[in-house]
Amino acid sequence: MEALRASASTFQDDLLDENCSSSSSFSNMTQAFSQRISELQQLVCFRVEDSVKHIFVRDIQGIEASVRALEQLFDELRQRTQQEMASVPKARALLQAAELQQQHLQQISSNLPQHLPSTCPAPAAAPAAAAAAHQQGAAVKQQGAAGTAVLGVRGATSTAAAADDARGSKAADKRRKDGPAAARPAPAAAPRWYVTAAELASVPSYIKGRLTLEKVNAAVDELAGFAEACAKAMASVARNQLARVGAEERIRLQELYHSIANKDAAKGRFWFLENDLRAGTAVKMDKSGKSMLMLLRHLGRLQEVRAVLESMGSVTAYVLQAQA
């Protein structure tokens, strides 16, 4: 009887344990269902309807484009910063060189004399001043000649004066024959009308090619030198001072004087021949030299003049234009 009671008590305890475990499992299952339902409710809140889906897609694409643009801008800023940092040493070196140059100029300025003679050539617009200087020089020469005559060399002075009179009369006859424009004195220096960066930038690329501003202005200097040498030769022809020149060269210079120097486009101006470019360094008689001449003609620095000579055939001269 007691054994039966013991077994009944044990069965009752087992049944209570099973009920407790079953209730615990049911509670866990209920909690899991509740959590899943909450997640589904949140997903429903995030759900986008098909009717407005394109609006959100467009906004997302716009945000993506803005982010990419910001990334590109950031890369450009970083590259620019690196370039600026790389140029800092160069800027410092340039600043040091400028300070050194300033010190040199201050030292030169502190040691300058009170008066410096002017080295600038007389402007072409002041022929009266040049004529006055010429008359003053002639007066000084006459005074020197008079002093020499007082010292006892009157015979030699008389001979020199007679020769000067003869040359003066010949030059006067030449000027009367060629006209007043031929007797006009040329300026002391050829015009150097340099090209600016804005002018060079305005030239079409098929004319400019690979020419730089430094090369173009160096060519302007060199062509002015050719023109000054040619003007000196033409002045010798006008003064009939060709005694030391060979016969062929004398004939060539005289033909140039009458065929080119007396033309309306070249009277009283500086000009040079195309053949003079054979001795050039900045402008040569090649494809680059022709491009340089074409560019300067396009910018109004040169004017082309053609003539036919008996000794040279067809020649081309370029007249330098002065800045207005």
176 pLDDT above the threshold of 60:
no
Q: Is residue 89 part of a domain?
A: no
Q: Could you tell me the residue range of the domain that residue 253 belongs to?
A: 164-320
What's the whole-number mean pLDDT along residues 93-108? 91
Q: What is the pLDDT of residue 15?
A: 54
Q: What is the pLDDT of residue 11?
A: 55
CA separation for the pair 46, 3 (Å, rounded): 65
- Residues whose CB falls within 8 Å of the CB of residue 221, separated by 6 or more in sequence, listed in order: 192, 282
pLDDT digits (tens, 9 = 90+) for 54-63: 777 788 888 9
Tokens for 53, please give them.
Answer: 């889906």
The CATH number of residue 302's host domain is 1.10.10.1890
What's the whole-number mean pLDDT along residues 145-157? 39
Number of C-beta neighbours around residue 276 at 10 A: 20
Q: Is residue 138 part of a domain?
A: no
Scan for tokens 């990419």, then name that residue: 68
CA 284 to chain centre: 21
- Residue 191 identity (one-letter amino acid): P
Tokens for 134, please give them.
Answer: 């010429």
The band of 285, judged by pLDDT with boundaries at 50, 70 and 90, is confident
Q: Is residue 57 part of a domain?
A: no
Q: Is residue 147 part of a domain?
A: no
Q: Which of 214, 230, 222, 199 is nearest to 295 (CA)?
A: 199
pTM for this model (two decimals): 0.43
Instruction: Provide the number of structural domains found in the chain.
Output: 1
Average pLDDT over the chain, rounded to an integer: 75
Secondary structure class of 300 (helix, strand, coil) = coil
Secondary structure class of 209 (helix, strand, coil) = coil
Q: Is residue 31 part of a domain?
A: no
Q: Is residue 269 part of a domain?
A: yes
Question: Which carries the bigger pLDDT value, residue 68 or residue 311?
Answer: 68
36 pLDDT above the threshold of 90:
no
Walk across the sheet containing 313-320 and list its strands. 271-273, 313-320, 302-309
321 pLDDT above the threshold of 60:
yes
Q: Are 138 and 168 in contact (CB under 8 A)?
A: no
Q: Is residue 131 part of a domain?
A: no
pLDDT digits (tens, 9 = 90+) for 178-236: 444 444 444 468 888 999 999 999 999 888 888 899 999 999 999 999 889 888 888 88
Q: What is the pLDDT of residue 113?
A: 62
Q: Is residue 92 part of a domain?
A: no
The band of 81, judged by pLDDT with boundaries at 50, 70 and 90, is very high
- Residue 197 identity (one-letter amino acid): A
